Amino acid sequence: MELYLPIAEMPVNIWFMVGLGAAVGFLSGMFGVGGGFILTPFLMFLGVPPAVAVATQSTQIVASSTSGVLTHFRNGTVDFKMGAVLLVGGFFGSIAGIAVFNALKAAGQIDLFIALSYVIFLGAIGGLMFWESLGALRHGGSKVGALRREPGAHTWIHGLPLKMRFHRSKLYISAIPPVFLGFLIGLLSVIMGVGGGFIMVPAMIYFLRMPTAVVIGTSLFQITFVAAFTTMLHAITNQTVDAVLALLLIVGGVIGVQFGMRLGARLRNEQMRFALAVLVLVICVRLGMDLVLPPADPYSVVGENTE
């Protein structure tokens, strides 16, 4: 059944798009990742303009992270104070991001910039995960969690001013590192259409030294609001949010994530991480090839909406 996407301005098959949302939701549930960094490149491969793919992906993240944060809220694993501080940075990061995004769009470089950002991030994360899971598979055990939190350890972070007390995280640290982290995530959210959990979660554990129990819930809390704000910024400045496409992906994602979580519970952690690393690297190579190989037509034509 064909459906015409109003903003992406292309006909798509409804079931294919719901299926894509479900497949990525499945991976997302299985690996416990947001899925934005897999879905956005796939939308671009299908011919959705990168600016529309990124903006629409933000809308999809609102749905998936709302669902996640509500579960964590019930379990009491959200540090609201830390979330609020991260959010301050996130809002400013999004505003800075949209300024960069629109300047690049006007210069005709936004598609390249989005693709390049993906190649760099997917390459770095996929490479690290590949290396780590390969080692873990060889040694028959997981090395994840080897870097445990040492409550007494003081780093340069503790020397920064503007200290705040975060009761839920049992931390007394400067507000500057979380605001900076939030800013970075806001920037990534606007430009890449990702939640940023894959950077935020490790940063919270190793950099801010938050207890692992509240890390996921707090990052989801921040992602929900930053993604909502990002969606608004894209909708207002570029009109690139395709609500129909977002809805199809959300419906598929909601179903896929349930099955993914069930299968994920049965598989070995190292095997899953290895499989995800391979997938991430394949997407990275595919995106990179489009940048490096001579284009079929070096000229591109962009129409302006006169209506």
Partner 1 sequence: MVLLILSLLFAPAARAEELAAGLSKDDIKISSSFTGTDLVLFGAIENEGGASIGIVQDRDVVVVVRGPGTAVTVRRKERLGPIWINRDQRRFVGVPGFYFVASTKPLAQIADAATLDRYHLGLAHLDFKLPAGAVMAPVDYRNAIVRAKSRGDLYNEQPGGVQFLSGSLFRTTIALPSNLPSGTYDVNVYLFRKHEIVTAFGTPLRIGKTGVERFLFKFANDLPWVYGLLAVLLAALAGWVSALLFRQRQ
How far apart are the C-alpha atoms of 71 and 225, rounded to whole Å?
A: 16
Contact region with partner 1 (CB under 8 A), list: 92-100, 180-188, 208-216, 250-258: 250-258
| 239 near partner 1, rule: CB under 8 A | yes
Asked whether position 7 contacts partner 1 by CB under 8 A, the answer is yes
- List the one residue from 247, 272, 275, 279 that touches partner 1 (CB under 8 A): 247
140, 151, 161, 298: residue in contact with partner 1 (rule CB under 8 A): 298
Taking CB under 8 A as the rule, does residue 60 contact partner 1?
A: yes
- What is the closest distance, in whole angstroms, from the C-beta atom of residue 107 to partner 1 in the complex? 8
Q: What is the dihedral of CA 4, 101, 111, 252, to 10 degrees?
A: -40
Cα separation, 175 vs 161, whole angstroms: 8
Identity at 82, one-letter amino acid code: M
**Residue 53 burial (CB count, 10 A):** 26
- Give yes or no for residue 241 binding partner 1 (CB under 8 A): yes
Task: Out of 76, 108, 135, 141, point to the residue binding partner 1 (CB under 8 A).
Answer: 108
Binding mask 116-135 for partner 1 (x = CB under 8 A): x-------------------
Please say whether the beta carbons of 27 and 283 come within 8 A.
no
Task: Decide if residue 265 touches partner 1 (CB under 8 A).
Answer: no
Tell me, what DSSP letter sits at residue 12?
E
H/E element, 163? strand 163-166
The pair of three-digit structure tokens given for residue 198, joined into one six-digit string: 């894959």
11 contributes a contact to partner 1 by CB under 8 A = yes
From first CA to last CA, the distance across the chain in angstroms is: 28
Closest separation between CB of residue 221 and partner 1, Å?
13
Cβ pair 218, 226 in contact under 8 A: no
Structure token digits, residue 89: 């940075």
Q: Taking CB under 8 A as the rule, does residue 30 contact partner 1?
A: no
Q: Least separation, in Å, of the C-beta of 18 and partner 1?
A: 13
Helix (H) or strand (E) holding 4: strand 2-5
Rounded CA-CA distance 210/32 in Å is: 19
**# binding residues, partner 1 (CB under 8 A):** 60
Look up residue 204 and give its DSSP letter. Answer: I
292 binds partner 1 (CB under 8 A): yes
d(CA 243, CA 255): 19
Q: Please, is 284 exposed, middle or buried when counting C-beta atoms within 10 Å of its C-beta (0-12, 13-18, 19+)?
A: buried
Q: Is 100 a binder of partner 1 (CB under 8 A)?
A: no
Site of tokens 């719901």: 18
Q: Does 96 bind partner 1 (CB under 8 A)?
A: no
Binding to partner 1 by residue 287, rule CB under 8 A?
no
* 75 binds partner 1, rule: CB under 8 A: no
Binder of partner 1 out of 199, 213, 243, 279 (CB under 8 A): 243
φ, ψ of residue 171 to 5 degrees: the values are -130, 150
Please say which residue, 150 or 307, places its beta carbon nearer to partner 1. Answer: 307
Query: Which stretch, 33-41, 144-152, 238-246, 265-273, contacts partner 1 (CB under 8 A)?
Result: 238-246
**Which residue in the block uniquely carries the two structure tokens 């490149």?**
41
Binds partner 1 by CB under 8 A, chosen from 18, 85, 250, 280: 250
Interface with partner 1 (CB under 8 A): 2-7, 9-11, 59-60, 62-68, 70-71, 74, 108-109, 112, 116, 224, 228, 231-232, 234-237, 239, 241, 243-244, 246-247, 250-251, 254, 257-258, 291-295, 297-307
